[in-house]
Amino acid sequence: MTVAQTAAAKRVSYQLDTLWDFDYEPTHQELEALYETAKKNQWNGSTAIDWSRPVGREGPVLNVQVAFLGTNFFPSLTEEERREVEIKVSAWRLSQFLHGEQGALLVASQLVNPIPELDCKLYASTQVVDEGRHVEVFERYVKKLHKIYPVDPLLKGLIDEILASELWELKLLGMQMLIEGLAIAAFNLMRRQTGDPTLADLLDYVLQDEARHVNFGYFALKRSIPAMEPGKREFLEDFAFKACDAMYGRNERTGFRSVKTVWAEMGWDAEEIWRDTISNSQTLKAFNRLLFTEVLIPRLQRLGLMSDRIEPRYREIGLLD
């Protein structure tokens, strides 16, 4: 199957065990508290955000020009072209988060079945509601801003692998710790950079949910990994490295490359601009590395998924000094 076919496929087949838990006594104090917080902090995407405001007009949406500092193509653009780049690249980025939120919705709905402890099942049920709400608000915002761009093949491939896995531990690691862990870091940066009040409100609400989701993954995994058989732990380590290697945009072959759709749409040489951005945007390079070295790598280390076996591979790609 080609990359394009993988991105377009809408069906993911999987085999998943469903586990009952008849021990109704709480066993996981941290998750019990997280479940209570989730119930208390529910919000309505239709009413919590003021959707009557025009989007993308009161200030930069994501201030994407920062990402193009140092490139050859950006300084030559007219103000009108820069404004078009701001809207379209912002719409492309937010579209990927929209698709990621739908992926998180699908994974969260799976987790209720195979995860063994009732505390985890109860919390996972609240995340299903959270992710549905996130899909709702991102879809609404992106459509008001411009249009929804197709899912990036890399993102789709990673989520499909998470969905197809029989291991609930891989689902937690892949979605809660890796994809949503990166999303939180990106959302925080977007919140600081945006000049659009509607997007700012949206991100404030989404971030309070996402913090719980990452904590859920961490709390559940830190109990299971120490007792895990070595082969299974190595499998999780290998998956985490493969995901980081693919998502860490450091050359023409890595990262989320479907942004080239925007450049082609504007009638420009998409490959040339992609190479220019990857080679010359020091801001983008620094941000990409920061996401991994300050966010993901420490979490993998705390979980015990950074063994002497896998560590050299992270050094080879520049994510460990």
Which sequence spans correspond to the domains of the chain? 28-316
Answer yes or no: is pLDDT of 3 > 70.
no
Cα distance between residue 191 and residue 204, in whole Å: 8
- pLDDT tens-digit map of 103-129: 999 999 999 999 999 999 999 999 999
| Angle (CA) 77 83 89, round 5° | 95
- pLDDT tens-digit map of 38-79: 999 999 999 999 999 999 877 789 998 888 999 999 999 999
Position 18 confidence tier, pLDDT thresholds 50, 70, 90: very high
Position 4 confidence tier, pLDDT thresholds 50, 70, 90: very low
Nearest to 119 by CA among 24, 20, 19, 208: 24
Averaged confidence pLDDT in the chain: 93
Give the global pTM: 0.94
Question: Are the beta carbons of 182 and 291 closer than 8 angstroms?
Answer: yes
Cα distance between residue 238 and residue 287, in whole Å: 24
Residue 258 burial (10 A CB sphere; 0-12, 13-18, 19+) = buried
Name every residue whose Cβ is closer than 8 Å to that of residue 2 and which is 6 or more positions away in sequence: none
CATH T-level topology, domain 28-316: Ribonucleotide Reductase, subunit A (1.10.620)
Cα distance between residue 37 and residue 167, in whole Å: 27
